[in-house]
């Protein structure tokens, strides 16, 4: 006879792969920022470059906040992690909405490059990161790299 697992009392301890992945995503976002901002400057000028940089910062902050919320809640209980994932979705959408609405009328904001960057940077960073995800039992987060401590 098996006993049913109780997600209310179980919690995850040890390293948090989501946080590890989000940090790596942020690192890649910083690496690619000059290129994306350069594209914004070429097509939309200085305002475009500033808008693209702002959008990239929103995307990176969104990843980091999502991972932090999931990781922190998973250390409390699995049920809390589920709640954090759902409430986090709504909260982060509201924060992105607020972050864009607060600056939309400022002189340096170009909404078209900002919107395009939000989508392209989000998806582009994710697809790029997929190449470095291990997802195995030994390395649940990123693939092992030589010279890296775990």
Query: Alpha-carbon dihedral of residues 72, 78, 81, 87, nearest 10 degrees?
Result: -150
Which two structure tokens, joined as six digits, stand for 111? 């909404």
Nearest to 107 by CA among 59, 50, 28, 65: 50
- State phi, psi for 117 to the nearest 5 degrees: -65, -35
Contact with another protein (CB under 8 A) among 16, 53, 54, 60: 16
Contact with another protein (CB under 8 A) among 65, 78, 95, 103: 78
Any contact of residue 85 with another protein (CB under 8 A)?
A: yes
Q: Which region among 8-16, 33-41, 45-53 touches another protein (by CB under 8 A)?
A: 8-16
Angle between helices 111-130 and 17-74 (to 10 degrees): 100
Residue showing tokens 């995503």: 25
Any contact of residue 15 with another protein (CB under 8 A)?
A: yes
Which residues of the chain form contacts with another protein (CB under 8 A)?
Answer: 5-7, 10, 12, 14-18, 21-22, 62-63, 66-67, 70, 74, 78-79, 81-82, 85-86, 89-90, 92-93, 96-97, 100, 104, 111-112, 114-116, 118-119, 122-123, 126, 129-130, 133, 135-137, 140-141
């Amino acid at each position: 006879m098996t006993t049913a697992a109780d997600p209310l009392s179980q919690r995850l301890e040890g390293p948090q792969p989501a946080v590890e992945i989000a940090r790596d995503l942020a690192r890649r976002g910083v690496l690619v920022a000059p290129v994306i901002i350069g594209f914004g400057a070429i097509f939309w000028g200085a305002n475009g470059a500033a808008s693209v940089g702002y959008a990239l910062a929103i995307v990176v902050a969104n990843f980091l906040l999502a991972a932090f919320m999931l990781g922190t809640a998973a250390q409390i209980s699995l049920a809390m992690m589920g709640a954090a994932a759902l409430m986090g979705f709504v909260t982060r959408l509201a924060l992105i909405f607020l972050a864009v609405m607060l600056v939309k009328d400022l002189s340096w904001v170009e909404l078209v490059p900002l919107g395009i960057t939000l989508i392209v940077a989000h998806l582009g960073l994710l697809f790029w990161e997929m190449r470095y995800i291990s997802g195995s039992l030994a390395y649940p987060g990123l693939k092992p790299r030589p010279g890296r401590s775990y």
